[in-house]
With several copies, the nearest count.
Chain A
Amino acid sequence: MKLMEYQGKDLFRRVGIPTPNGVYTTDAGDVKAYLTEHPGSWVLKSQVMMGGRGKAGGIKFADDAQQGETLARELLGKVLKSVQNPDGEEVKSLLVEEKVDIASEAYVSITIDRAAKKPVVMVSRFGGMDVEEVAEKNPDDIKKYWVDASIGYSPYIGRRLAFAAELPAGYRKGFPAILGALYTLFMDYGANLVEINPLVLTKDGRVIASDAKVELDDNGLYKHPEIAQWNSESPADEDQAAAVAIGLGMSNYAKLGGTIGVIANGAGLGMGTMDAIRSAGGEAANFLDIGGGAQADLVKKSYNLVTSDPRVNAMFINIFGGITRGDQVARGIVEALAGDDVRKVPLVVRLTGTNAEEGRRILDAAGFVPVETMDEGAARAVALANGR
């Protein structure tokens, strides 16, 4: 679950990371009222998930309340577009923050190194810019530290990184504590990524998190039900929402560019099926993994989800039973097709593995003959999609 900047900063404040003064709102009138009460220079930051909002015109500066209101009206409802997000994303809310006098900008993040199986901390004195660019051009300007999760964070780690990355001296006093707080957030809230870019050193000597990027592990969200709820308030991925609605995991369903609906058990087989369709000259309309041990009901719902996509003009259900039982899958298919409001598309089924024989008997009884192999199924599905 990716958090928006204002949500990330909410968590920052909970663990004691300093953030700029400001207010979050969905209403331009609020901006006027707030700036009237708090004269000065302010930044209006569009709250969107997409990257590159600055270049897309999502960040504005206001020096008085009237200007603030005008800019807020301009931003709210605007659709920001970027190279990565050609469809764009609508601005539904704003974070209004004090414009700080920047003396220096640093970069700091903690993420999980899957290969090392450890949290890795990254610090650079080049903040405020695209870190991937820094990593590519001057990898030595990013200093890394792999934390032993059984020891955890201790302030020397922050000291060591601050010296190694040659952060300006103004950072050094506050940095170990801020990094410690960031590590606490990372661990306590089960984050995949926490990033502050830039971590600003102000001219008056404060160290402040000017931006906040937080991505939480969906599998750990149950420990934080109040944060899991934020999800519904944010513009979540539609595919994720659809998957969760029928009882799947967030990443078990994704729409793709083609016309052939795909249902498989297991992400590996799902991807393999997608690849096989491509090899056979077609293109998958989606990726749907029913996971392990799916019951008939889930299979039925998955069928209906995939066919709810109007582009789908053929379907390939590819099951190699392990924990998933062939009889349950077959029963689900039969039930789905028996439904009143079902959209029937040409269907290819491949069923093998655990309880496959019973499954085949069920399909047989419903007058349905499955194919033998994945390659065969992919070829047949492509032919059907092409109206042959």
Chain B
Amino acid sequence: MSIYLDKNSKVIVQGITGREGAFHTQRMLAYGTQIVGGVTPGKGGTTIETGQPVFDTVKDAVDATGATHSILFVPPFAGADALWEAYDAGITLAVCITEGIPAHDMLRVVATTSGMRIIGGNCPGVISPGKSLVGIMPGHIFKEGNVGMISRSGTLTYEIVDGLTRAGFGQSTCVGIGGDPIIGTTFVDCLRAFANDPETTALVVAGEIGGSDEEDAAAFIQAHIPDKPVVAFIGGRSAPKGKRLGHAGAIISGNTGTPESKVKAFADAGVPVADRPSDIPRLLAERLKPIPA
């Protein structure tokens, strides 16, 4: 099993003929994802080189293909519109790669699309290794297995997953929840899903300084996931106070969102925090013993 997507998930690509959309569509197809079509207004009726049909609207695409999942490669100003279009057409899970959608657009989208799970924006997507990749992750670094992984960052996820895979820890599903200020799916949302997934036997949570998602995650783990080993990582622990680094979340101000606060929250929940990504497999192995093959 896995969360959010499996090998039967039918996926469409919003922005399938754009530069990034076209590139990643091919990569996802190569990984085995069931890309059943895509949307580019004005190109309805055509097909892409690998044969998948292009539609003018998401509704047309869903009506014709029965897709339930969508991945969005659209410019930031069109992000909210594309998410609403997906929602209106009946999409149940939308992966929003787009970075920099205005926070107020996302506030309104999140408030008005109940029933549709949004991953991101500004995220690398979701992968259930060996089953389906709906995202921009480099598929070859992942390996099918039982570790659930959640991360705010894209490239840091790859760094950590690469280490896990090399150490023999396959993954059930990896979710990059995204770094924008308002995102559709939080650590806690993912943890709730992983808690109910019997094939996920251990978890890695890769957080960052800033915000309070990590603290919320720690509290949830303590309350609801007593039986699965969890290892955490906090990026940006060496950052100076008051500096805004990349992700809007990654700013430390006042007493919230400091590395100390996050490390303490995880420690209180019995979750070890790795100093470096490369330490994660060792900590996981310690928690899991005997070490899997």
- Mark A residues whose CB is within 8 Å of B: 84, 112, 114-115, 117-119, 132, 148-151, 154-156, 159-160, 163, 169, 172, 187, 190, 192, 217, 219-220, 222-223, 249-252, 254, 256-257, 264-272, 274-279, 284, 287, 289, 291-293, 319-324, 352-354, 373-375
Contacts and interface: CB of A to CB of B under 8 A. Distances in A.
Contacts of A192: 103, 181
A264 B154 CA distance: 12
Interface stretch (B2-10, B46-54, B196-204, B209-217): B209-217
Given A267-B250, A374-B277, 11 more contacts: A114-B249, A160-B85, A163-B57, A172-B42, A254-B245, A268-B152, A268-B208, A271-B246, A272-B277, A320-B159, A323-B136
Given A322-B136, A322-B137, A269 B153 contact: yes
Nearest to A217: B103
B144 interface: no
B182 A114 contact: yes
A291 B154 CA distance: 10
B102 A219 contact: yes
Interface in B42-87: 42, 44, 56-60, 76-78, 80-82, 84-85
A201 B64 CA distance: 31
Contact of A257 (B20, B212, B240): B240
Interface residues of B, number: 80
Contact of B278 (A217, A223, A374): A374
Nearest to B238: A278
Contacts of B77: 222
Interface stretch (B108-116, B224-232, B285-293): B108-116
Contacts, number: 216
A118 B111 contact: yes
A219 B103 contact: yes
B239 interface: yes
B104 interface: yes
Contact of A292 (B110, B154, B186, B278): B154
A239 to B, nearest CB: 9
A155 B111 CA distance: 18
Count chain A CB atoms within 10 A of each CB in B212, B239, B278 and give the residue with the most.
Answer: B239
A120 B191 CA distance: 25
Contacts of B104: 187, 190, 217, 220
Contacts of B59: 160
Given A267-B179, A322-B136, A279 B276 contact: yes
A346 to B, nearest CB: 21
Interface in B238-261: 238-240, 242-250, 254
Contacts of A249: 100, 246
Nearest to B73: A323
B235 A271 contact: yes
A192 B154 CA distance: 24
B159 A154 contact: no
B278 A375 contact: yes
Contact of B211 (A114, A268, A277, A373): A114
